[in-house]
Amino acid sequence: MTYKNFIGGEWVDSATAKVFEKTNPADTSEVVGEFQDSNVQDVEHAVAAALRAYPSWRLTPAPKRGEILYRAAQLLMERKEDLAWQMTREMGKVLVEARGDVQEAIDMAYYMAGEGRRQFGQTTPSELPDKYCMTERVPIGVCALITPWNFPMAIPAWKCMPALICGNTVVMKPSPESPLSMYNFVEVLEEAGVPGGVVNFVASSSSSAGQALIAHPDVRAVSFTGSTEVGRQVAQTCAGTFKRLTLEMGGKNVILVMEDADLRLAIDGAIWGGFGTTGQRCTAASRVVVHKRVYKEFCKGFVERARSLKIGNGLDPSVEVGPLINRKQLNKVEEYVGIGKEEGASLLCGGEQPQGEAHARGWFYLPTIFGDCHPRMRIVQEEIFGPVVALIPCENLEEAIEIGNAVPYGLSSAIYTQDVNKAFHAMREMETGIFYVNASTIGAETHLPFGGVKQTGNGHREAAVAALEFYSEWKSIYVDFSGKLQRAQIDS
């Protein structure tokens, strides 16, 4: 099937008349579909459509906008199984995780639908008589939403739903590695009743369309999720025209395992954090710092569990680890495994592609664990985005926290301990935007802010009420009914 762009309420071909193929990463002989290979002209059309739709959508009462989002949530719920199946086929994550991805979109749609009746402002006394003071949220305008491939429906929903409920219009560009899930998402929004031009979808195999979208003078805000390197370029582009910008970038997340931890539970968390989505999450637990008293026992159990994981096509319900997204990512993982060996880390398991016919046509890699790692090793410092976990021994909690914080990123961290004092100490000291106690580094919920510090982000948060702060501006309003000139700070 050939899938079209969605611009101005219509499904249209690209101006290039070209398409690109998307294949199944678990079986590259299987073509998932053909998508429009859009260019700058398509971006121009999409932004123009969003700009035309903005005045009417801005004035649509927020509760009415919320009703549309509520209908979208219902449609997503009805189609959850089919949408999850298609997601696994296009980007590889196992089916149970794909269902969770769709569920995040459902949760965000329901949550933001409610925000249509909760965009509260403030009323406050004036310093002058016969005068009211109040605030209200107002939308920004056309928003560009650039999303990654690893959460191809959840992340578009994180960005799109708060943007729409605040009264903005959007142009969305998916990763070329997972355009089908965003296509399906936009199709649901159309069916739910989103007016033409309010949501626009442009697919492309290259970065040129995204660059044109970010730089477009009629785009007032940009939300980008991707690598830190690309995020830095996006920030520089937006700075020139003072666009509002939110960046969600890399992570090198850590689990701290203390001497009093429930090791069974800690190993469960490390397996889920390290190898869920084949390690291709910004919140993946790619580092585990373990107290020396329990280091050997933890390593033994962790390696045994990792070796037992079933690898294969995520559509098989018994499979626990799917493929990497493409050959480039597989090459990157192989390169870092080589770096780990050269650095002197102990390869405890994995470190190669699985053999056999079942894995011959996909981008599979065995869950890989390095032991006895030094905190300054590259495999400990740099984001790999694959099924590779580095184990680092430590003497005590203070050293564990020091190791945990000694990376450029600051998205998510976790501690396993039975000591409430240790938990609260780590909670305060870890330099991350998300923190877990006796749970892994992944599992964020839609009603809490999501985002990180340092090179992970630029200070904004996605999800929850925090997202409204990015997709709306505050307007302060003064109503003077005194019938005379009153000068604040002078006549008070």
Which of the following is catalytic: 97, 177, 190, 248? 248
What does the angle CA 273 – CA 432 – CA 470 come to, to the nearest 5 degrees?
Answer: 105
In the residue annotation, 143 being an active-site residue is answered as: no
Q: HEC string of the chain?
A: CEECEEECCEEECCCCCCEEEEEECCEEEEEEEEEECCCHHHHHHHHHHHHHHHHHHHHCCHHHHHHHHHHHHHHHHHCHHHHHHHHHHHHCCCHHHHHHHHHHHHHHHHHHHHHCCCCCCCEEECCCCCEEEEEEEEECCEEEEECCCCCCCHHHHHHHHHHHHCCCEEEEECCCCCHHHHHHHHHHHHHHCCCCCCEEECCCCCCHHHHHHHHCCCEEEEEEECCHHHHHHHHHHHHCCCCEEEEECCCCCEEEECCCCCHHHHHHHHHHHHHHHHHCCCCCCCEEEEECCCHHHHHHHHHHHHHHCCECCCCCCCCCECCCCCHHHHHHHHHHHHHHHHHCCEEEECCCCCCCHHHCCCCCCCCEEEECCCCCCHHHHCCCCCCEEEEEEECCHHHHHHHHHCCCEECEEEEECCCHHHHHHHHHHCCCCEEEECCCCCCCCCCCCECCEECCECCCCECCCHHHHHHEEEEEEEEECCCCCCCCCCCC
- Strand-pairing partners, residue 473, are 138
And the tokens for 445?
Answer: 């919920």
Which of the following is catalytic: 143, 282, 299, 394? 282
Phi, psi dihedral angles at 259 (to 5 degrees): -65, -20
In the residue annotation, 78 being an active-site residue is answered as: no
Report the alpha-carbon distance of residue 421 to residue 425 in Å, rounded.
6
Which residues does the annotation mark as catalytic? 248, 282
